[in-house]
Amino acid sequence: MQRKMVTIDGNEAAAYVAHKINEVIAIYPITPSSNMGEWADEYSAKGQKNIWGTIPSVTEMQSEGGASGAVHGALQSGALTTTFTASQGLLLMIPNMYKIAGELTSTVFHVSARTVATHALSIFGDHSDVMAVRQTGFGLIASNSIQEIMDFALITQNASLETRIPFVHFFDGFRSSHEVQKIEQLTMDDMRAMIDDDLVIAHRERAMNPEKPVLRGTAQNPDVFFQARETVNPYYDKAADIVQKNMDKFAKIAGRQYKLFDYFGDPNAERIIVMMGSGAETAEEAVEYLNAKGEKVGLIKVRLYRPFSIKHLMAAFPKSTKAVAVLDRTKEPGSMGEPLYLDVLSAFTEQMAEGKLPFANFPKVIGGRYGLSSKEFTPAMVKAVLDELIKDKSKNHFTVGINEDVTKTSLDYDPNFSTESDDVVRAMFFGLGADGTVGANKNSIKIIGEETENYAQGYFVYDSKKSGSMTISHLRFGKQPIHSTYLISKANFIACHQMVFLEKIDVLKNAQKGATFLLNSPYPKEETWNKLPKKVQQEIIDKKLKFYVIDAYHVAKETGMGVRINTIMQTCFFAISGVLPREEAITKIKETIKKTYGKKGEQIVQMNYNAVDQTLANLHELKVPEQITSTIEMQPTVPVEAPDFVQEVTAMIIAGRGDELPTSKFPIDGTFPTATTQWEKRNVALDVPVWDPDICIQCNKCANVCPHACIRPKVYDGKLLDKAPATFKSTPVRGKEWPEGFMYTLQVAVEDCTGCELCVEVCPVKNKVDTSKKAINMAEQIPIREQEQENWKFFLHLPDYDRSQLKIETVKGAQFLRPLFEFSGACAGCGETPYVKLASQLFGDRMIVANATGCSSIYGGNLPTTPWAQDENGRGPAWSNSLFEDNAEFGMGFRLTIDKHNEQAKEMLRTMQNQIGQKLVDDLINAKQVDEADIAEQRERVEQLKAKLKSMSGSEARSLMSIADYLVKKSVWIMGGDGWAYDIGYGGLDHVIASGKNVNILVLDTEVYSNTGGQMSKSTPTGAVAKFAAGGKPLPKKDLGLLALSYGNVYVARVALGASDTQTLKAFIEAERYDGPSIIIAYSHCIAHGYNLKQGLQQQKLAVDSGHWPLFRYNPEVAAEGKNPLQLDSKAPSIPIQDYMYNETRFKMVTKMNPDAAKEFLERAQKQVSKNWKVYENMAKMDYSNNNS
Amino acid sequence: MDLTTKYLGLDLKNPIIAGASPLSNNVDTVKLLEDKGAAAIVMYSLFEEQINHEARELDTFLTQGTESFAEAMSYFPEPDQFHSIGGEDYLNKIAALKKTVDIPIIASLNGVSAGGWMKYAKQMQEAGADALELNIYYIPTDPFLTGVEVEKIYLDDLKTVRSHIDIPVAVKLNPYFSSFANMAVKLDDAGANGLVLFNRFYQPDINLDALEVTPDLQFSTSYELRFPLRWIAILHGKVKASLAATTGIHEADDVLKAVMAGADAVQLASVLLKKGAKQVEVILNDMKKWMQEKEYESIEQMKGSMSYKSVAEPAAYTRANYMKTLQSIK
């Protein structure tokens, strides 16, 4: 049968099959598995049916724990049920997995295997998560390639039904989940042929059913539990054979034969690698290459890992086996070795003991680790492992792929060893996230994969930043299936879509001799050569590259494409790469454009067609001069004044050379220095704000809203201007509160600015002569870059104004506090970071932050650099991220320690008061510590105490010294998004606010899961489109504020900076001062709302004015005074809700998809805001004068 | 009493047309307008700018931030199909109105260029529109653009549309031409079946607090009818095209004046938005009453009776105000 060839990624392959052979799907988003759930939801939303003719039900739960509970329930009630997850998500499913397996219930969980967080979180792939469930009783089946993912998704389902053992079907996160490959798509008939309906019916018959009631899930006692637990043995004993039978059955249907342990290599091989996952594809490529060179090596691909079948494993080995290297993509510190290694070793030993070992001698067996967190695994590393087996003393418990120079476990490998075939087109594209490079490449792969005989592969490497982020695409095309599951190191085509990259990274490093180099240059073709850095010119000449240039931005501008150069660069690729005849390629591109953009209107299609046509006229081949003409050097990654760690480690990571860093360079426990974003000058903004001191009223609103802390006001003694650079701007400070002769400067960090324009939008002043100008205006960055570098440096050198003398209760005053959260990797125009920054300004020097996993933990804690910063005294926020689900509890733990240490310090002060001095002890213990001045005084007292303790001997003094800092008030902040606060972490958050403990919770509410790409949360409002609410969310948003204030003893505030910055500031100060739990729910506009974020603040105001987001503060201290604790800080809804909603694509797109539903949502939303307002209004009117609290 | 009239070749039961306004967005309101006596409906305008803007906007914001960050390849689920991009909902609305009411439905296309959007004219015809009103507006800010060139834009637009469709086409236009009468004749020659005088622009205002320009549209008053009244009176009998008066038609008197000046029909918008569909009935009743009192038999009888060519003192239509003032001193 001729099956359709499709070019899809691993997640889509898994979801495609899983959706067709299940009835119920319950999921929770987690990278890199989220897309599987999203695909399933999309299929169902589009009415796609499963093989039994019904549309599977897809439900998003509040956590993976919840998803596994729902899966367990659905299975127990008889539905064929699945879920998709990874990493921490899989770990949260463990309790239910034990139950599901214990009850011999058939199901398949599809897992894109991802690193479990240890010393750090990583979204990338390894087997630490799946290895953590091998004890649950679930079977484990590994897919190594995209085709296998599709095939095994099907095979495993029937195997599970037949064995009655539940399975985890896993494949490597990112490398397989996100790799795009051309594969053969299974048909509905294939799936019908594979799934045995009798088994399905048997599954249903085991369901809980009141018509024939049974009880499952008893509590058992020592007398019987053990025996009962052993009843499952026969099922596990038979499982391997049954799985093999199903693989054989599949081979008859689809023609691809798999074995539980698939051997690949020379039939008389002596050295064998055993492994599973995507690395096995690379190993296969290397083994084939080495055998062709005359070596005798082999590879065993483990497919069925649990139940582990010794019989099948032994049968897979050639009799000639002399040495075996078992590779694990996980680390189990403290174990004798990693799991697969131990399993293979045990198998050999058991066989030996039983006299059944099929080899002449007991082979040499070594184990090693590779590929943690998607670390590259290349044929060179495979060779290193096989070479190690030849040695007399082979290194056991080795690592490969890194330089582990501490305990010296790593194997050396030759990075130049390559197995890449000359027949394969290998293309690398360096682009910006915003320029559409990846999308265009995905289109190209589809064109080549689906329209030609070629096989195609695409893999995409993304940045750790969300603004100005770089993407590198790795594309391979060839006549043979592609097994290279590693990045391209020898490219025959390289495209650089942004010329600035040439000065920052070595774009041509991977270009092989005679390769083609395509550059998007903003300069005329004649000038381009001279604008290249010296090193680039040298590489072009040395490697004899064919060099093409295009001014893609010019073409984009001329054709109305704006900054998206995707179509243009794609056209260039086809025009010069020769993958397809040019004319044919153009036709195909146009067809794809029609397919991709057709639904968005004819105009968009025409615009893209026009761009294609214009491209060819603007694409030029440059004759490469023989001589280097340039004097431009590559930019240093970090400035010379950066600290050593930044120079040696951080700079390497920034430069894309983190792979080269040896183990010894890293902190042993995941502890990193803060305040390092200042060294990473990213220069991502084309236009930056420029201050006009003549009309500025010094309100500091621009600084207040800047998401990246790039605009800073400072008041300082005018005398300090003596050494100011010539272009440094300053003006006398306005207001009587300042000392005589003091000046004001508003300085912009132009190299850190992302160009979001929120500052310009918020600026309240207009130039009286030219009203198009404000007191801050956007201007091109490059012409002022150098002068502003100097000005910024000078500005930083000016002393900060004494914080205890500032009026921090005013927006203006608070903004003179130095931000201790700066230059984060958040999106340009981010709505969350201004709140985070504000907290860091107000409390940063005594702040400890628990950060839930999500956007804020990524822009706050993703390497290479850290935005959490330090003041001139070296004080600043201490920050940590535990998990997604436990953040409130994690932060409460901070509080418990702080309270305990504070109490203990006070107890010790009393015990030691004679030595320390009565007055100091009394003052330290009774200090009120409310405002900045109080705190400064207490700090001073603690310094006195420390000085005294230093001079004292004895363990008591040392002990008190170690906790003396806790005598200064600490500010515990628990931060995270709505996914955490409303969904996965709500139980913990609820418990923590009910505890009465003095913690401050900041909910950065974007009303959607932003970090994982826009999935619905319980905060998502009515009518908003999100993933899992593709037609718009029909139900209302949860009112977290109302729930929190129901306790009565919790300080609750709902704020929106764009609607009232003063109310926001008040709320932060009050929340922190309140000696009990506080929660601030902060409206955070987000890229996932679908509009230009420079309008974010206006939208916040509309959200408030429409009643969608009423502002309030609920202060329990006020109730104690006999007044109503609820203060409404915004007025009754004054504009229709649609004036707010329809500025945002998330709401508006419903009108384009389903106008009737949109109308219905609008009516509901309008009713909700009216009702909600009444509720708040009535509560705010309640009389508390008779102690009615 | 015969209130019928012919406009764009369409037989209308009376001269009152509900002009382009948001009222036509709602099928129930249109039905009510019909019940209250409206003889035809001009639908709200399909804006060229809006069609383009919405498509661009959707494309921009659905792709914003995509394929940039490993955890979030996209931020929105993307449906296979959008149903109302490129005016689809407008076309569906025409079809829905045609099913609901019996009076003619005149579609309205609003724009500047004779570009690809003109294809909507054809789609409107296919969707069942009985006629098309082409609302051309162009503010010529370029000091190097001549009047001839500006006129050409209007004429080209009309010709393009005319060549795409068979149903009658009316042109709703502004009066700002050097020689308006000449322009009217040129449009007549280019195939316009009707001229609608005049469209009203959003006019800029300045917000002194915000220092912003805030364009808006105020409801018209009866007084504003004077301007189209003059030009209808002047053009009556000089062009083949039907003439419709719009702007300032609020009462029966206004309708009668317009018809007497030479209008084949009148279009109401402000008054309907202010007072609702029932105002059509009020105006019709008042008209009938007046006609009865003055013993008029039909609309046809009075049509153009006070036009430039029929009036006793045609100079009154051409005299400017200061002349009158001078005379009154005499």
Name the residue among B59, B66, B83 with its Cβ closest to that of A604: B59
Task: Note the pLDDT tens digit of each residue in A1112-1150.
Answer: 999 999 998 999 999 999 999 999 999 999 999 999 999
Q: Is the domain of A706 the same as that of A557?
A: no
Average pLDDT of span A731-745: 96
Whole-number Å distance between alpha carbons of A731 and A1141: 42
Residue B53 pLDDT greater than 90, yes or no: no
pLDDT at A223 over 60: yes
| Residue A969 placed within a domain | no
Q: Are A644 and A695 members of one domain?
A: no
Burial of A587 (0-12, 13-18, 19+ CB in 10 A): middle
Is A31 in the active site?
A: yes
Catalytic residue selected from A31, A115, A528, A833: A31
Q: Rounded distance, CA A796 to CA A787, Å?
A: 14
User: Tokens 């679908």 appear where?
Assistant: A1090
What's the one-letter identity of residue A519?
A: L
Cα(A1173)–Cα(A687) distance, integer angstroms: 41
pLDDT at A1170 over 70: yes
Calpha distance A5→A1174 (Å, rounded): 58
Question: pLDDT per residue over A86-132, tens digit each?
Answer: 999 999 999 999 999 999 999 999 999 999 999 999 999 999 999 99
Shortest CA distance from B61: residue in chain A: A1090
Length of chain B, in residues: 330
The answer as to whether A167 is a domain residue is yes
The predicted pLDDT at position B111 comes to 78
Instruction: Check A1090 against B84: CB less than 8 A apart.
Output: no
Beta strand pairing status for B5-7 and B10-12? antiparallel
Top CATH class of B5-329 equals alpha beta
Confidence label for A812 from pLDDT (cuts 50, 70 and 90): very high
pLDDT in tens, A1042-1069: 999 999 999 999 999 999 999 999 999 9
Query: How does residue A563 score in pLDDT terms, banded at 50, 70 and 90?
Result: confident
Q: Tell me, what's the pLDDT at A280?
A: 98
* Residue B330: pLDDT band with limits 50, 70, 90: very low
Lowest-pLDDT range of A177-181, A435-439, A507-511: A435-439
* Sole residue written with tokens 């940063």: A844
Distance CA A514, CA A545 (A): 5
Q: Read off the pLDDT of each residue in A681-687 and give the average, rounded to a whole number.
A: 92
Reply yes or no on whether A1186 is catalytic: no
pLDDT at B185 > cutoff 90: yes
In a domain, A908, yes or no: no
CB contact under 8 A, B63 and A1014: no
Best of B28, B52, B53, B76 to substitute, by most chain A Cβ atoms within 10 angstroms, is B76
Q: Alpha carbon of A918 to those of A924, A927, B171: distances in Å? A: 10, 14, 95
A944 within a domain of the structure (yes/no): no
How many CA within 13 A on the CB side of residue A1096?
Answer: 29
Q: What is the per-residue pLDDT across A121-154, written as a single tens digit (0 to 9) for each?
A: 999 999 999 999 999 999 999 999 999 999 999 9
- Short-list A184, A399, A191, A382, CA closest to A278: A382
Here the tokens at position B223 are 């007084």
pLDDT for position B117: 64
CA closest to A1090 among chain B residues: B61
Q: Note whether B72 contacts A35, CB cutoff 8 Å.
A: no
Q: Within a domain: residue A58?
A: yes
The one catalytic residue among A136, A163, A1011, A1115: A1011
Sole residue written with tokens 């009998």? B237
> What is the average per-residue pLDDT within B159-183?
93
Q: Is residue A990 part of a domain?
A: no
- Chain A residue closest to B73 (CA)? A1013
A113 lies in the same domain as A189: yes
Mean of the pLDDT values across residues A1014-1032? 96
Shared domain for A50 and A184, answered yes or no, is yes
Q: A604 and B211 in contact by Cβ < 8 A?
A: no
In the numeric block, which tokens belong to residue A470? 């770089």
**Residue B327 predicted with pLDDT over 80:** no
| DSSP at B139 | -
Residue A1035 has pLDDT above 50, yes or no: yes
Which secondary-structure segment (H or E) carries A85? strand A81-85
What's the one-letter identity of residue A799? P
Burial of A756 (0-12, 13-18, 19+ CB in 10 A): buried
In this structure, the strands spanning A425-432 and A491-496 are parallel
Count Cβ atoms within 10 A of the Cβ of residue A303 and give its class: 0-12 exposed, 13-18 middle, 19 or more buried. buried
| Residue A623 burial class via C-beta count within 10 angstroms: exposed 0-12, middle 13-18, buried 19 and up | exposed
H helix and E strand count, chain B = 13, 12
Examine the domain organization and report whether A662 and A591 are in the same domain.
no
Do A1114 and A1167 reside in the same domain of the chain?
yes
pLDDT of res. B321: 54
Asked if A1154 has any chain B CB less than 8 Å from its own CB, the reply is: yes
Q: Which residues contact A1189 (CB under 8 A, 6 or more apart)?
A: A1048, A1116, A1119, A1120, A1125
Quote the pLDDT of residue B115.
Answer: 61
Nearest neighbour of B83 by CB, restricted to A41, A466, A1152: A1152
Of residues A993, A1115, A999, the one with CA closest to residue A1051: A1115
Where does residue A658 rank: exposed (0-12), middle (13-18), buried (19+ CB within 10 A)?
A: middle
* Rg of chain A taking only CA atoms, in angstroms: 32
Q: Residues A612, A645: one domain?
A: no
Return the pLDDT at A1005: 98
Q: A1142 touching B, CB under 8 A?
A: no
Phi, psi of A297 (to 5 degrees): -130, 160
Do A1011 and A1148 sit in the same domain of this protein? yes
pLDDT at residue number A1189:
43
Band of residue B82 on the pLDDT scale cut at 50, 70, 90 = confident
Backbone angles phi, psi at A392, to 5 degrees: -60, -50
Cβ contacts below 8 Å, chain A against chain B, sum to 145
Same structural domain, A539 and A655: no
Q: What secondary structure does DSSP assign to A1052-1105, as a single string?
A: EEEE-TTT-HHHHHHHHHHHHHSSS-EEEEEE---GGG-S-GGGHHHHHHHHHH
pLDDT in tens, A269-313: 999 999 999 999 999 999 999 999 999 999 999 999 999 999 999
Structure tokens at A1072: 């922190």
Asked if residue A438 and residue A363 are part of one domain, the reply reads: no
Sign of CA dihedral A1021, A1024, A1027, A1033: positive
Residues of B in contact with A1027 (CB under 8 A): 76-77
Sign of torsion, CA A302 A305 A311 A314?
positive
| Confidence check: pLDDT of A517 > 70 | yes
pLDDT digits (tens, 9 = 90+) for A1089-1109: 999 999 999 999 999 999 999
Q: Are strands A180-184 and A5-9 parallel, antiparallel or unpaired?
A: antiparallel
Band (B114; pLDDT cuts 50, 70, 90): low
Dump pLDDT digits (tens) for A947-984: 999 999 999 999 999 999 999 999 999 999 999 999 99
Which member of A12, A23, A60, A64 is catalytic?
Answer: A64
Phi then psi for residue A223, to 5 deg, are -65, -35
Q: Look at residue B84 in the predicted model and tell me its pLDDT.
A: 66
pLDDT of residue A18: 98
CB contact (8 A) between residue B86 and residue A1026: no
From residue A104, give the alpha-carbon distance in Å to each of A99, A100, A236, A1150: 9, 6, 10, 44
Tell me how far CA of residue B260 lies from CA of A713, A865, B10, in angstroms.
Answer: 70, 80, 20
pLDDT above 50 for A552: yes
Using pLDDT thresholds of 50, 70 and 90, give the confidence band for residue B326. very low
Burial B15-27 (b: 16+ CB within 10 A, else e): bbbbbbbebbeee
Helix, strand, or coil (residue A903)? helix
| d(CA A982, nearest CA chain B) in Å | 19
With respect to residue A888, please indicate whether it lies within any of the assigned structural domains.
no
Mean pLDDT, residues A246-250 taken together: 98
pLDDT of residue B320: 61
Q: What are phi and psi of B216, to 5 degrees?
A: -155, 180
Chain B partners of A1152 at a C-beta cutoff of 8 Å? Answer: 54, 58, 82-85
CATH of the domain at A1168: 3.40.50.970
Tokens encoding A372: 């943690």
Q: CA–CA separation, B226 vs B244, rounded Å? A: 14
Whether A380 and A434 share a structural domain: no
Range of the domain at A648: 637-672
Regarding beta strands B105-111 and B194-197, do their DSSP bridges make them parallel or antiparallel, or are they unpaired? Answer: unpaired
* Residue finishing a domain among A817, A836, A852: A817
Residues 540-599 of A with CB under 8 A from B: 562, 564, 597, 599
Tell me the Ramachandran region of residue A620: left when phi exceeds 0, alpha when psi lies from -120 to 50, beta otherwise: beta
pLDDT higher than threshold 90 for residue A375: yes
* Whole-angstrom distance, CA of residue A240 vs CA of residue A253: 20
Active-site residue, A740 included: no
Q: Left, alpha or beta for B23 (phi > 0: left; psi -120 to 50: alpha)?
A: alpha
Mean pLDDT of B302-322: 82
Cβ(A467)–Cβ(A684) below 8 Å:
yes
With beta carbons less than 8 A apart as the criterion, state whether B121 and B108 touch: no
By three-state DSSP, how is residue A817 classified?
A: coil
Residue A778 lies in a domain: yes
In chain A, pLDDT over 90 holds for what percent of residues?
A: 94
CA-nearest of A694, A688, A691 to A768 is A694
The CATH number covering residue A719 comes to 3.30.70.20
* Residue that is last in its domain, among A817, A841, A856: A817
What's the pLDDT score for residue B137? 80
State the Rg of chain B over Cα. 22
Least confidently predicted of A356-370, B207-221, B249-263:
B207-221
Calculate mean pLDDT across residues A356-379: 97
- pLDDT of A1002 > 80? The answer is yes
- What average pLDDT does the structure give for chain A? 96
ω into A32 cis (within 30 of 0): yes
Contact B154, B162 (CB under 8 A): no
- Average pLDDT (B142-156) is 92
How high is the pLDDT of residue A1? 65
| Confidence grade of residue B322 (pLDDT, cut at 50, 70, 90) | low
Q: How confident is the model at residue B112 (pLDDT cuts 50, 70, 90)?
A: confident
Q: Mean per-residue pLDDT for A604-622?
A: 93
Structure confidence at residue B113 as a pLDDT band (50, 70, 90): low
Percent pLDDT > 70 in chain A is 100
- Is A64 assigned a catalytic role? yes
Residue A675 vs residues A186, A650, A802, A1062: alpha-carbon distances, Å:
52, 12, 21, 28
pLDDT at A1038 over 80: yes
Number of domains in chain A: 6
Give the closest-approach CA distance of B90 to chain A in angstroms: 12
> Do A609 and A700 lie in a common domain?
no
Is the overall model pTM greater than 0.90, yes or no? yes
